[in-house]
């Protein structure tokens, strides 16, 4: 094969590829490699020293190994160009008479992030399940020992066990919900329904719950109906989560206002949207927490969340349900001013 042909083939590859000579200088860089490194170098890449280009000892070691062993070497390396990212670098020894090493670079940052998220999730779930279990194991030991003949202590301990068991049950329920919603996220609901009675039913339910007892709910929609393509059970779950949060994280006696609005357009939507907001009069959320609230198990104050029966999964479930409905959740708040969570759903076309 002519060298020119080889260059043509390399240029047709989507990922950055560099050819490196025995003097460890760049012999060729395909178009993606030029885009990747190009801005940092004037006068092109060819002839530049590989070490100076990547500035990473592991990358260099990998290339040296390929030359020495006349084989393939691989390493995951952190490169700073164009931004800091982890690349899987493969160095392949190519030509016996005129030795050259081809270096391919694949950005594996998203893969690593996904793997990290999976392992964080398992660690979080285990921790959340283990703490009520530890409490219960301790109580069982006490009931068998010190509290064996103390009916008062037994009643108290059984109440705690009941609370902890209920907490595990809620967590498992939310985990199952999350996994179900995630598995059908790609299947968009096609059935049209009216959101007004869905929200009205949620208001009626939450009003009866302990957390809703001392709250005033304001829901006076200006529209006769509010049609979306949706799954009634899942949308009920969305508003239930938002209303429960509005009650649980604000002071007793506060007002919870649900407002329905039609908007001609909204960022990241190609159609008109329904905007349903749930606003409370609580202490609000500091700005730095807002981008992370929809992550699984992200809680501003986990002690408080646990005390009010939270699992830390509510808003993650809301996010996935809204993704399935091609909608999204917008969170606005300023400390001391309460929280306003707005559900945006496309108006069916
Ligand atoms: N209306 C609200 N006011 C203040 N903080 C809120 C509100 N809604 C949610 N949060 C914060 O977001 C966190 C995550 O909410 P969520 O995912 O529903 O989990 P949880 O099970 O803890 O309620 C809560 O722990 C709380 O810190
Ligand atoms: Mg919640």
DSSP element (H, E) containing 223: none
In this predicted structure, the answer to whether residue 2 has a pLDDT above a threshold of 80 is no
- Start-end ranges of CATH 1.10.287.130 in the chain? 113-183
CA of 91 from ligand 1 middle (Å) equals 48
Which of the residue ranges 65-79, 83-97, 186-200, 334-348 would you say has the lowest mean pLDDT? 83-97
Say if residue 142's pLDDT is above 80: yes
Best of 305, 308, 332 to mutate for ligand 1, by most ligand atoms within 8 A of CB?
305
Q: Which residue has the higher pLDDT, 41 or 75?
A: 75
DSSP 37: H
Whole-angstrom distance, CA of residue 150 vs CA of residue 95: 84
What span, in angstroms and rounded, lies between the C-alpha atoms of 75 and 71? 14
Among 77, 91, 80, 3, smallest CA distance to 37 is for: 80
* Residue length of the chain: 349
Gap from CA of 307 to ligand 1 centroid (Å): 12
For 257-280, what is the mean pLDDT? 97
Residue with CA at minimum distance from ligand 1 atom 10: 245
Fold of the 3-107 domain: Beta-Lactamase (3.30.450)
- pLDDT at residue 40 is higher than 90: no
Q: CA 287 to CA 267: how far, in whole Å?
A: 20
Q: DSSP readout, 114-136?
A: HHHHHHHHHHHHHHHHHHHHHHH
Element (DSSP H or E) covering residue 320: helix 314-324
3-state helix, strand, coil in the chain (%, to 5): 45, 20, 35
Residue ranges with strand state E in the chain: 17-20, 26-29, 72-79, 85-93, 101-107, 192-194, 216-219, 227-229, 255-263, 273-279, 328-333, 339-346
What is the Cα–Cα distance from 251 to 242, expressed in whole angstroms? 15
Residue 193 burial class via C-beta count within 10 angstroms: exposed 0-12, middle 13-18, buried 19 and up: middle
Q: Choose which residue among 315, 329, 335, 338 to substitute to test ligand 1 binding: the one with the highest number of ligand atoms within 8 A of its C-beta.
A: 315
Burial class of residue 346 in the structure, from the number of CB atoms within 10 Å of its CB (0-12 exposed, 13-18 middle, 19+ buried): middle
Please give the pLDDT value at position 5: 81
Site residues for ligand 1, CB cut-off 6 Å: 241, 245-246, 249, 280, 282, 285, 293, 299-301, 305, 310-316, 339
First-last CA distance in the chain: 56
Q: CA 50 from chain center: how many Å?
A: 37
Mean pLDDT of 62-74: 95
CB-neighbour burial class of residue 285 (10 A; exposed 0-12, middle 13-18, buried 19+):
buried
Cα 136 to middle of ligand 1, angstroms: 26
Distance CA 29, CA 34 (A): 6
For the chain, what is the mean pLDDT? 93
Q: Of all atoms in ligand 1, which is nearest to the CA of residue 241? A: 18
Closest residue by Cα to atom 8, ligand 1, is: 245
Question: 211 C-alpha to center of ligand 2: Å?
Answer: 12
Locate 327 and state its tokens.
Answer: 């909608």
Quote the CA–CA distance of 305 and 129 in Å, as a whole number: 15
Of the ligands numbered here, which is closest to the C-alpha atom of 317? 1
Give the ligand with the smallest distance to the CA of 256: 1
DSSP 10: H
Topology of domain 113-183 in CATH is: Helix Hairpins (1.10.287)
Domain with CATH 3.30.450.20 in the chain: 3-107
Give the number of whichever ligand sits closest to the CA of residue 294: 1
Q: Which atom of ligand 1 is nearest to the CA of 310?
A: 21
- Closest residue (by CA) to atom 19 of ligand 1? 312
**Domain 189-349 falls under CATH 3.30.1360.120:** no
Task: Please report the atom of ligand 1 found closest to the CA of residue 299.
Answer: 25
Note the pTM of the prediction, 2 decimals.
Answer: 0.82
Residue entry with tokens 């899942």? 234
Pocket test for ligand 1, best of 128, 242, 243, 245 (most atoms within 8 A of CB): 245
pLDDT band at 70 (very low <50, low <70, confident <90, very high): very high
Q: Sorting pLDDT into bands at 50, 70 and 90, what band is 42? A: low
**CA 305 – CA 246 distance, rounded (Å):** 12
Alpha carbon distance 35, 15 (integer Å): 10
Query: What is the C-alpha to C-alpha distance for residues 311 and 298, in angstroms, rounded to an integer?
Result: 9
């Amino acid at each position: 094969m002519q060298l020119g042909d080889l260059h043509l083939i390399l240029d047709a590859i989507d990922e950055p590829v560099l050819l490196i000579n025995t003097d460890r200088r760049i012999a060729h860089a395909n178009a993606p490699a030029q885009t990747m490194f190009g801005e940092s170098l004037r006068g092109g890449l060819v002839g530049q020293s590989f070490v100076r280009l990547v500035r990473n000892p592991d990358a260099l070691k990998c290339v040296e190994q390929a030359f020495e062993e006349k084989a393939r070497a691989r390493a995951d390396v952190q490169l700073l160009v164009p931004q800091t990212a982890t690349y899987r670098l493969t160095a392949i020894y190519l030509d016996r008479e005129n030795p050259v090493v081809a270096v391919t670079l694949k950005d594996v940052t998203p893969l690593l992030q996904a793997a990290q998220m999976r392992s964080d999730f398992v660690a979080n779930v285990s921790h959340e399940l283990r703490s009520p279990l530890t409490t219960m194991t301790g109580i069982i030991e006490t009931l068998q020992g010190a509290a064996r003949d103390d009916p008062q202590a037994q009643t108290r301990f059984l109440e705690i066990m009941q609370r902890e068991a209920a907490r595990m049950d809620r967590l498992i329920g939310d985990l199952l919900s999350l996994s179900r919603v995630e598995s059908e996220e790609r299947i968009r609901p096609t059935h049209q329904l009216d959101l007004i009675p869905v929200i009205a039913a949620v208001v009626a339910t939450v009003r009866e719950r302990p957390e809703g007892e001392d709250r005033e709910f304001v829901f006076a929609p200006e529209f006769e109906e509010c049609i979306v393509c949706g799954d009634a059970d899942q949308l009920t779950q969305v508003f239930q989560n938002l209303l429960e949060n509005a009650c649980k994280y604000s002071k007793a006696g506060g007002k919870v206002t649900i407002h329905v609005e039609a908007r001609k357009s909204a960022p990241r939507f190609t159609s008109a949207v329904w905007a349903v907001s749930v606003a409370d009069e609580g202490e609000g959320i500091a700005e730095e927490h807002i981008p992370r609230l929809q992550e699984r198990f992200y809680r501003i104050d986990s002690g408080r969340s646990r005390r009010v029966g939270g699992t830390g999964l509510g808003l993650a479930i809301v996010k996935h349900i809204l993704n399935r409905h091609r909608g999204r959740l917008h969170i606005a708040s300023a400390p001391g001013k309460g929280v306003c969570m707005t559900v945006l759903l496309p108006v069916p076309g």
